[in-house]
Amino acid sequence: MAETARPIVIRVNGTEHSLGAERSRSLLSVLRTELGLTGTKYGCGSGECGACTVLLDGQPVRACTTPVSHADGRSVTTIEGLEGKDGSLHPVQQAFLDVQAFQCGYCTPGMIMEAVALLRKDPNPTALTIREKMAGHLCRCGTYSRIVRAIQAAAAKMRK
């Protein structure tokens, strides 16, 4: 049986897709090339930098090292899927803007996705918890203290 014999069915940002992609292809590759969702970034290709982080059934995963077959029958949320129905930004996205938590912005989508997952589990994280959870995300610009402040600001807004 060929590797692509059975379509892979994934729900991405609320829309179901049936894909004939090779099951071993990275989720990142499929999101970017097959679905045109380029907000998720390719950084290192080995899951070390966090730029490619998406939510798989609400849990953060590195899309560059996750085979698309692992998403079969599951739900994926990318940075594009955080936008409100009215076009508004998610509170974490808005906080990153308000606090100027990025410079070049390349790492930002992955950091935001990790932060969204964190705040869903822990709506009032300490600065230490935030630093520990975000430790696997690399920022070339070094805006780590602003990233912590942004996540704290988003947490406060989301608790209201």
CB atoms within 10 A of CB 69: 17
- CATH number of the domain where residue 19 is located: 3.10.20.30
72 and 97 belong to one structural domain? no
Asked whether residue 1 is domain-assigned, the answer is no
Task: Give strand ranges (E) for 29-98.
Answer: 53-56, 59-62, 75-77
65 and 121 belong to one structural domain? no
> How many domains are there within the chain?
2
- Final residue before a domain boundary, out of 23, 52, 82: 82
- Final residue before a domain boundary, out of 27, 50, 82: 82
Average pLDDT, stretch 27-46? 97
Lowest-pLDDT range of 4-8, 69-73, 121-125? 4-8
Which residues span the domain enclosing 58? 8-82
Q: Which long-range contacts (CB under 8 A, 24 or more apart) does 42-46 make?
A: 43/106, 43/107, 43/110, 43/138
Q: Is the pLDDT of residue 1 over 60?
A: no
102 and 145 belong to one structural domain? yes
